[in-house]
Structure 1
């Protein structure tokens, strides 16, 4: 299985490091100082499962690499327009594109340009950051990718991906309802990630503040209700359990959006919680917590 990871920042580079360490043929597409460091010194991974360096293929171009069996699309959502143009260089008519991005609708955008039969939506749960060019720090005792067919059916290709690409340091699960999986991630990460960014605070600081947990729960409930209005089956979501689980992992929780704000990079706010606010207008359902959070970050979204 020949794999390319498009937009290999913190998350994509971690995947690439795991794949390479376990003998998978993988290429990273990235740029800037992170790319240069990988080319010159290899990719350093510091993780729950140990620290290691791998000599992994990396490129800042897609034009001369040929096609791949599987593309992991891990670019920021605001880079999709540029990324989609380059994806055609990497894909044959049989290439599987796995979209591992924030939000709930990136696979729909991608299907405007590629055969939807070749697209597998995915949700990932990982705490990772680039602590210096070429070095990824992963936190927490689990890294999970959930994959699923858009129509909800089981397929042999899902099982094949799970069997070939699951390792101790990266668990791949098959979702029976990937749309629900994406919304469940939005309820969790879309809420706390945006709040951490808006508040310029750690998760622990938010929870221990006077009204922090109220804001968290209020935002989560708004996302939950909008998802239901959008036709997604979220009846098994228990906000109490979600919050309890987050509290248990409090020390390892990070927010990529908060990291982008700190580094004066563009924010994905319009495609994450902003998408929820847009849908709230469509369904005429009030979302005061979400609307306030999105508004608080608007002037920073261009970087």
Structure 2
């Protein structure tokens, strides 16, 4: 098996290192000091489960790699539309695109039976630009439950979790999914193939949709947001409204709001990725989180008043920091 990791940051390098440890031919696509460090010393993983080093090939040019069996997308979703030229050299007839993104993916309604089948979500796939870059028939979904960060160039700190749930848009347990899952397991990661990954997407989104924009607006950590009675109440309401939207499009996330809040609170003084992006002057990944959910609320007739309010304020913040 040959795998390319496009966007080998904290999560991408961690996955690539694990697959390399399993004997997979792995190619990491990265840039800057992180790329230079991985070329020199490999990927160094520090983890509560034990430290280790892997030495996959690393480059900034996908054309050096050529066609692969699977492309693991470690990019932020707001970079997908611009990734077409990076992805193209990596494709052969059956190459899959495994999208490890937060929020609602561009493939969400692809092969989803019902009244919304093949509906395109404009905030996620503006003008069809993401579908043009990442063809729907190649898409495999991925929900990431692991937490990692770049400790220094070439060094990944694994904080917690090893689960990367994957699934086909049509819900089948495909050979292409199971072969990738087996390789991930051989590298020490959990990679269940889910018959309905969309429920996992909504469970994770319940947290991201609330904590990410609120953290950017308040500069607070996840635990800080939970401790404050006012913001805790806002988060709970946003989660309730998110579940309502999920059910209107046929999903049924099986977790209570209180349990989801408790899980987020256990993360402690953790800054969300959106707050980290804001502090670093990077574009915030909010379109696939709260903007997409508001769009689906419009589509299905959900009221979602709290989601709409936070989305509007967060959008203004995005405009002011752009």
| TM-score between both structures, scaled by the size of structure 1 | 0.89
2:22 and 2:183 in contact (8 A); partners too: no
Give the unaligned 5+ runs of structure 2.
109-124
Aligned to 1:125: 145
1:293 maps to which of 289, 301, 310: 310
1:233 maps to which of 242, 251, 254: 251
Deviation at 1:274, TM superposition (A): 1.4
Deviation at 1:173, TM superposition (A): 0.8
CA distances 1:60-119 after superposition (whole Å, capped 9, x unpaired): 111222110111112111111221232111010111211111221233655445553332
Which has more strand, going by share of residues?
Answer: 1
1:99 and 1:107 in contact (8 A); partners too: no
| TM-score between both structures, scaled by the size of structure 2 | 0.85
Aligned to 1:96: 96
**Counterpart Cα distance in 2 of 1:114 and 1:207:** 37
CA distances 1:212-231 after superposition (whole Å, capped 9, x unpaired): 321211111121111222x2
1:179 and 1:232 in contact (8 A); partners too: no
User: Cα 1:107–1:254, aligned 2, differ >3 Å: closer, same or farther?
Assistant: farther
1:135 maps to which of 155, 163, 176: 155
User: Cα 1:178–1:252, aligned 2, differ >3 Å: closer, same or farther?
Assistant: farther
2:19 and 2:183 in contact (8 A); partners too: no
User: Cα 1:232–1:199, aligned 2, differ >3 Å: closer, same or farther?
Assistant: farther
Tell me, yes or no, if structure 1 residue 72 matches structure 2 residue 72.
Answer: yes
**Counterpart Cα distance in 2 of 1:196 and 1:225:** 23
User: Cα 1:204–1:168, aligned 2, differ >3 Å: closer, same or farther?
Assistant: farther
Q: RMSD of the alignment, in Å?
A: 2.2
**Counterpart Cα distance in 2 of 1:96 and 1:168:** 19
Aligned to 1:19: 19
CA distances 1:236-265 after superposition (whole Å, capped 9, x unpaired): 342222223333x32375522221112111
Aligned to 1:259: 276
CA distances 1:40-79 after superposition (whole Å, capped 9, x unpaired): 3322222221223332211111122211011111211111
**Counterpart Cα distance in 1 of 2:312 and 2:82:** 26
What are the within-5 Å matches in structure 2 for residues 180-191 of structure 1?
180-191=199-210
